[in-house]
Amino acid sequence: MLLSKQGDRVMNADQGSKRGIEGLESDGPYSEFENKLMLFGQFVGDWDILEDRFYQPDGTKSLEQNLTRGELHWGWILNGRALQDVWMSIDEKTGKAISEGTTIRFYDPRIDAWHSVWISPTQRVVKTFLARQVGDEIVLDGKTTDGLPVKWIFSEIRADSFRWRAEETRDNGKTWTLREEMQIRRQHQSEPPSANSNMNLNYLLRSSS
């Protein structure tokens, strides 16, 4: 139980825990940058992580925790100027989804790129990236916890599926090694964004050509 600043009422810590944070959630993209915002806005909805594979520093598959499953959920926040997602893993013993971390992303028109911040209390990390469209992929450039250059890449993007992978380099970008990859599919009850927000990456490529 928590005492309010006024001291005249007691508020249960669980009160309001089943509703969203006031002022956070939004119904759709901010109209001024709608086309740009749909680079990541196309992922709004609910997804299943069909498989999540991990690799050793030399690119070979890890013997431990090689394959896991999970969920991914995206939504608009802050008057549609940003997006937030939650990545979850499935506990194979209980079948429950466990939150692993969250990303906040927003488009910066000054640099025509996205700021992306990954926060994971379970991993005890905060990672920052700059994201841009590169060909038919979305590439996030950042650093590992050891200071190595890393890329998080969205590829093979369709309305109902995409591939995500993480690559890092130890030779200043001469070669890149695959460290993790996921195959992700939209949940059946989760429809792709619609009404001016039904633009996928192929649309963005056509409109920018």
- Whether pTM exceeds 0.75: yes
CA distance linking residue 35 with residue 24, whole number of Å = 21
Per-residue confidence (pLDDT) for residue 205, from 0 to 100: 36
Q: Is residue 142 within 8 Å of residue 166, measured between CB atoms?
A: no
CA distance linking residue 4 with residue 23, whole number of Å = 21
Q: Does domain 21-208 have CATH number 2.40.128.20?
A: yes
Domain residue spans of the chain: 21-208
Per-residue confidence (pLDDT) for residue 184, from 0 to 100: 98
CA distance linking residue 45 with residue 40, whole number of Å = 11
Residue found under tokens 């969203």: 20
The backbone torsions φ and ψ at residue 121, rounded to the nearest 5 degrees and listed phi first, read -60, -35
Encoding tokens for residue 192? 């792709």
Low-confidence residues of the chain, pLDDT below 70? 1-19, 62-66, 189-209
Encoding tokens for residue 20? 């969203």
- Rg over alpha carbons for the chain, rounded to the nearest Å, is 19
Per-residue confidence (pLDDT) for residue 7, from 0 to 100: 45
Per-residue confidence (pLDDT) for residue 137, from 0 to 100: 98
